[in-house]
Chains A and B, each alone.
Chain A
């Protein structure tokens, strides 16, 4: 079954305590992204990756890091979380970055993060 798997689903942490949210896809997709979803602001892209070792900033990258050492995995790292990073996070993957061959796109189940 094609899927994007995120862990954990729920996380409550304290300000400044480093955390990692994992994301894995089993479709051999090239393009992977992280988004955060906030009421009234919609989905905003944090970082994206075109392929292994190729990552770039989205619209709201401050306070986040990513890495893409293997094609299937794209973890999101918060080195020093702050309360304004409390949000619902989604990982997504798609077959291509763009173009007519970009016909598949899947989102993970989401990670609800609360930073106190």
Chain B
């Protein structure tokens, strides 16, 4: 089992719809969970950070964390073509260290 798993996609949603991106992780000791957006050829950009169980909302983005089930998700409401990118989930620290593990990312396509 990979330490951080994401569906590679592509996930295609129509403009204006809700995009739901999921990430599961294996290290129960992890405390910090990040969602990054990466456009092709660009560096990752932090869009959400969540630390506690439950939901965290920031504009059109909602991050959801369930530590018991070891998953973290990202909802994008009113999806726009400009949201088309790869979304990376990062989890850490892992293994009793201060390492962070990234998933391989989910490619999102928002269709106009």
- A residues contacting B by CB (< 8 A) are 31, 33, 35, 40-45, 48, 50, 56, 58-59, 90, 92, 97-100, 102-110
Contacts and interface: CB of A to CB of B under 8 A. Distances in A.
Interface residues of B, number: 25
A44 B102 contact: yes
**Most interface-central of A40, A90, A100, A105 (chain B CB within 10 A):** A105
B88 A43 contact: yes
Interface of B: 31-32, 34, 36, 42-46, 49, 51-52, 88, 90, 92-93, 97-105
B71 to A, nearest CB: 18
Contact of A45 (B43, B51, B88, B99): B99
B102 A97 contact: no
B99 A58 contact: yes
Nearest to B97: A56
23 contacts: A35-B102, A41-B104, A42-B88, A42-B103, A43-B88, A43-B90, A43-B102, A45-B100, A48-B98, A58-B100, A90-B43, A92-B44, A98-B31, A98-B32, A99-B31, A99-B32, A102-B49, A105-B34, A105-B49, A106-B46, A107-B36, A110-B42, A110-B43
B93 A107 contact: no
Contacts of A48: 98-100
A97 B104 contact: no
